[in-house]
Structure 1
């Protein structure tokens, strides 16, 4: 049977489990743990029901009458344990995505580029930007107050004098450090010096070659960034490339050229470089498109992603839905601090409200406020999400794009409402759950 199971073992399942027949598959959803498995026949469903009723493993085996049933039972058990769908003698352990323990710092508005789609509209340093000493204190207080992760972006972080000191301090006090950079200002010495203090770094390349990248990010930058990507990756830092195409540089052969870029970079690195494609164009310096145009844009970008790796969507979906990891919110409540100290609870800071300044209140005050916002806009407290069996898997969607309050809470009357969900979207999500499960798990081999 299974080396980890005894015949007298009993599996403990969460109480609220929903089954949905989708085409030839049976999707079994554990509502309260944001988890699911996929069954391939009614035999497996019958065996699962026996286990849920408290039958011991041995009792189920004794009832099995054919090799087909035994094979189905083995596959069922494999699925249950692969997804930690039940526990032996104990319930599965839940985990929560807690956005208010994450800090996003726009450390300066200064930038050496003027990208057309930049939603921060970065360029010139603000007159009232915080000092090195301010940021050191903010990071220390964030950590003491329970903070865990910090992301530095801008503008371009390296435009801030003393950024290396801030980076090292964040690392030394135990924060997980991520840096978002345009990749143009990193010297060989800087890379070697600062790489040990960075957990993850992301660079922006918004074209497939010098010509198309220049349309968005200016001339002479493409090869420089590629070299920086390769150097960081080969030093063992988790390195990713984020690409936001615009309608100005999307061409008929973009899918082919983008794949060539991915292959060329990966051939030069000893560690995997992760490539990410933005599937939505946010309002930016020279970009402001309708929701209908964004839907067409998203479809085009997904086509490029699929051309590079036909399984990318499945891999990304499973990676973003670890077993029993509950997502109650898109991330609203996670703190973003602008370079002048203004505090927001979404990284799209120019589309939401400021809740004050870090020079006026301690970090603990804002973290508590972030937790409060995170909870009051969670799927448990908005309509119609609170009654949906997919709520902890879906997380409700973007609180700016998909809700009636459009990211602004101060003058909004409760209850908050999700206004874009449809039965079609729910069906697509469930189909995606099945397809990603089938791709990732193979219990018949």
Structure 2
């Protein structure tokens, strides 16, 4: 994009200006838009009044600060392009584009809880799973496939198979084979990694990702919540998954007061076991987590300290991988090189401010649905309560279930949640987790206990993030 300095631009007055350490943030809360600059950039923007051309504005700044106009154009051209692309500066006679709320016609994430059976008794289990030898209802494979095949192919995104422990479900090979035939982009199994090795050969070729729970890099940490002998079995499963060429191997870590001090060692563990991604989960106040959260929850200050060290070690590990890629693997094809270790975090706010979407809820009921082992459908895997049931895949058609889901999503929109509707950051945030609000306050319309953290984290990311400038024709 080439700047035309003879054009006239107007500063959009719906952007609020926040000052911090002689830096300025222009933020449009309703349109989920922001731009950060210094005092000179602020002066340039403020002089774009719909009367002066950009050339005249640059000339005024040149006279004010005794800088040459060519120097100013060189220094601020990228900034001006971004301001125009972001419609902070509007062409004379033009109005800005109003960002519509993000919506989903069909769910992006479909959870399938194939069984409530589990061989472990983790104190934070959101499913409140039962013993492996207890008779339980299990999901109907034909009904699941019949339900999911009604989703148009272009909308078939992610299926997450969970439990209980999904490898205790005898129909798992059949289910994964049939899901694979539906051509879902990402089929994930979430497992504790202690059972089911004998069917890896049948199951793993049908899926894209295997997520294994790792609550410590040593048995003393991992087995505190998952039981004696679970650590060695988990490590064996990681190795076996690699032997069967799993496309993507993920480990998930649930922080508690028993293992939080071991969190910084997880990146090294991931490197040593050829892990593709680490998922740092959140202790949920549902299932057994309702009763045990006060007992096992880590201290907030200790959590923050160890997360900080964890992030430093993530960077160190990926620098090591980068060195390997650029030296001993330099002549290899890209798909043969070692991959960087990726990271995802529950309650991660970075995508909400980096990717520009107007978010009105936590995706419950519309972007996400959850099928339970008794074939009921719920708005999310952490809200599997009768009062929030959307329907049943054996009894109701998809259209009716999705319509109820959309109504639930609308009901719990940030524009309707009492604790969110007056918050400036609501369209950035989406209102947090409704299940956490319910578990924390006994009210689904309540406040997510991490609300203040979300606000602080989003603003901190905005103040510190270096956003790439996207070139856009026609400015």
TM-score, normalising length: structure 1: 0.77
What residue in structure 2 maps to residue 285 of structure 1?
288
Q: CA deviation at 1:140?
A: 1.4
Structure 1 pair 204/5, CA: closer, same or farther in 2 (3 Å)?
farther
> Structure 1 residue 173 and structure 2 residue 182: aligned?
yes
User: Matched residue of 1:38: which SS?
Assistant: strand
User: Matched residue of 2:252: which SS?
Assistant: strand
What residue in structure 2 maps to residue 114 of structure 1?
121
Whichever of the two has the greater Rg, that structure is 2
Structure 1 pair 408/93, CA: closer, same or farther in 2 (3 Å)?
closer
What residue in structure 1 maps to residue 171 of structure 2?
162
CA distance in 2, matches of 1:26, 1:94: 26
Q: 2:79 aligns with which of 66, 76, 79?
A: 76
CA distance in 2, matches of 1:214, 1:400: 27
Give the aligned CA root-mean-square deviation in angstroms: 4.2
What residue in structure 1 maps to residue 253 of structure 2?
243
Q: CA deviation at 1:136?
A: 1.8
Gaps of 5+ in 2: 315-342, 470-475
Structure 1 pair 372/216, CA: closer, same or farther in 2 (3 Å)?
same
How many residues align? The count is 422
Q: 2:15 aligns with which of 17, 39, 42?
A: 17
> Structure 1 residue 305 and structure 2 residue 307: aligned?
yes
User: Matched residue of 1:353: which SS?
Assistant: helix
| Contact 1:233–1:273 under 8 Å retained in 2 | no
Structure 1 pair 52/298, CA: closer, same or farther in 2 (3 Å)?
farther
What residue in structure 1 maps to residue 36 of structure 2?
38
What residue in structure 2 maps to residue 347 of structure 1?
381
Structure 1 pair 281/365, CA: closer, same or farther in 2 (3 Å)?
closer
CA distance in 1, matches of 2:127, 2:11: 46
Structure 1 pair 358/382, CA: closer, same or farther in 2 (3 Å)?
same
What residue in structure 2 maps to residue 412 of structure 1?
none
- Write out per-residue CA displacement over residues 340-372 of structure 1, whole angstroms, 9 at most, x where no aligned residue: 012221221356734242222112211111111
| Contact 2:360–2:430 under 8 Å retained in 1 | yes
Structure 1 pair 394/154, CA: closer, same or farther in 2 (3 Å)?
same
- Write out per-residue CA displacement over residues 250-296 of structure 1, whole angstroms, 9 at most, x where no aligned residue: 4xxx53x4333421321442xx63223334353443762577985x6
User: Matched residue of 2:267: which SS?
Assistant: helix
CA distance in 1, matches of 2:310, 2:453: 25
TM-score, normalising length: structure 2: 0.73
Gaps of 5+ in 1: 410-415
CA distance in 2, matches of 1:392, 1:302: 26
Q: CA deviation at 1:46?
A: 2.8
CA distance in 2, matches of 1:336, 1:265: 29
Structure 1 pair 152/78, CA: closer, same or farther in 2 (3 Å)?
farther
CA distance in 2, matches of 1:92, 1:242: 38
What residue in structure 1 maps to residue 461 of structure 2?
433
Q: 1:335 aligns with which of 357, 369, 373?
A: 369
What residue in structure 2 maps to residue 214 of structure 1?
223
User: Matched residue of 1:152: which SS?
Assistant: strand
> Structure 1 residue 276 and structure 2 residue 285: aligned?
no
- Write out per-residue CA displacement over residues 19-44 of structure 1, whole angstroms, 9 at most, x where no aligned residue: 222343322223234232222x2221
- Write out per-residue CA displacement over residues 188-245 of structure 1, whole angstroms, 9 at most, x where no aligned residue: 8725x54454344321112231122111112222233234446657947343221123
CA distance in 2, matches of 1:303, 1:82: 38
Structure 1 pair 352/390, CA: closer, same or farther in 2 (3 Å)?
farther
| Contact 1:404–1:419 under 8 Å retained in 2 | no
Q: CA deviation at 1:103?
A: 1.8
User: Matched residue of 1:120: which SS?
Assistant: coil
